[in-house]
């Protein structure tokens, strides 16, 4: 019985219509990362940053989970060992697909965070610059997402899970953003078998022992089926 740790990225939600960050048609293509995904960009132009995340939040509310999200939920439900699910995604498609315990290391579109006092609450559909924090009233509401230069959430729990992993899978992530791109090394050091499941080889593909390429809606259900029947 395995101690499975799964890391997912934008690629798992691509076939649901969420759009990935990098590559043709990617979300970053027409925008500079520094403008919409850094604390400095938010300080410079909060209206632009809110507009970017408002649009993504509205998009996320419209899309449905796909066969890959549902297969992972099935694995969590039916696998007799441990299955830890870590996602870099800020959408809620894992939850909508039936996953209960999802570690959102880059935060969630559904959340608002006060930059002044760290209070968290449910984000409205449209966040606006200067929106007051319900706890301290500072006009400092921001999306509860992790920007470049900020520390991802839940790192202690994640590193603990990786240190005990016997099987690590990275699904739909380009391997360009750390620390997530380094999780395969942590798992390898812990003695885990490592699998990359992606449309195409990622930037860190050579770190993996096994690779499976193709659309997530096909590769992930097939992988889960193998785990549940072997």
Does residue number 26 form part of the binding site for ligand APR (CB under 6 A)?
yes
Residue window 188-207: x/- pattern of binding to ligand APR, with contact defined by CB under 6 A: ----------xxx-x-----
Nearest residue to 123 (alpha-carbon basis) of 103, 97, 145:
145
Q: Which is nearer to ligand APR, 133 or 146 (CB)?
A: 146
Q: Which is nearer to ligand APR, 138 or 227 (CB)?
A: 227
Q: Which residues are annotated as a binding site for substrate?
A: 53, 56
Restricting to residues 127-166, name those near ligand APR by CB under 6 A: none
Counted residue by residue, the chain has a size of: 230
Does residue number 16 form part of the binding site for ligand APR (CB under 6 A)?
no
Residue 141 pairs in a beta bridge with 114
Annotated active-site residue 154? The verdict is no
How far apart are alpha carbons 60 and 48 in whole angstroms? 18
Q: Which is nearer to ligand APR, 15 or 95 (CB)?
A: 15
- Torsion (CA) 205, 181, 43, 104 in degrees, nearest 10: 120
How far apart are alpha carbons 34 and 10 in whole angstroms? 19
| φ, ψ at 15 (rounded to 5°) | -75, -5
Catalytic (active-site) positions: 106
Interacting residues with ligand APR (CB under 6 A): 9-11, 14-15, 20-22, 26, 88, 106, 172-174, 176-177, 198-200, 202, 215-216
């Amino acid at each position: 019985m395995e101690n499975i740790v799964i890391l997912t990225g934008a690629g798992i939600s691509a076939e649901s219509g969420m759009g990935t960050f990098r590559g043709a048609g990617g979300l970053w293509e027409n925008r500079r990362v520094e403008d919409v995904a850094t604390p400095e960009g938010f300080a410079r132009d909060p209206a632009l940053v809110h507009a970017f995340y408002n649009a993504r939040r509205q998009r996320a509310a419209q899309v449905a989970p796909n066969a890959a999200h549902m297969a992972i939920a099935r694995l969590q439900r039916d696998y007799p060992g441990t299955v830890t699910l870590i996602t870099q995604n800020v959408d809620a498609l894992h939850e909508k697909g039936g996953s209960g315990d999802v570690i959102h290391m880059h935060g969630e579109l559904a959340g608002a965070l006060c930059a002044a006092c760290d209070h968290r609450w449910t984000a409205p559909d449209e966040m606006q610059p200067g929106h007051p924090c319900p706890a301290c009233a500072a006009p400092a509401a921001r999306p509860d997402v992790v920007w470049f230069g900020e520390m991802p959430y839940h790192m202690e729990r994640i590193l603990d899970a990786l240190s005990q992993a016997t099987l690590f899978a990275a699904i739909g992530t380009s391997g360009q953003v750390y620390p997530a791109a380094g999780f395969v090394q942590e798992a390898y050091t812990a003695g885990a078998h490592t699998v990359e499941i992606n449309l195409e080889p990622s930037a860190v593909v050579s770190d993996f022992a096994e690779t499976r390429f193709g659309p997530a809606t096909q590769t992930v259900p097939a992988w889960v089926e193998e785990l549940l029947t072997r």
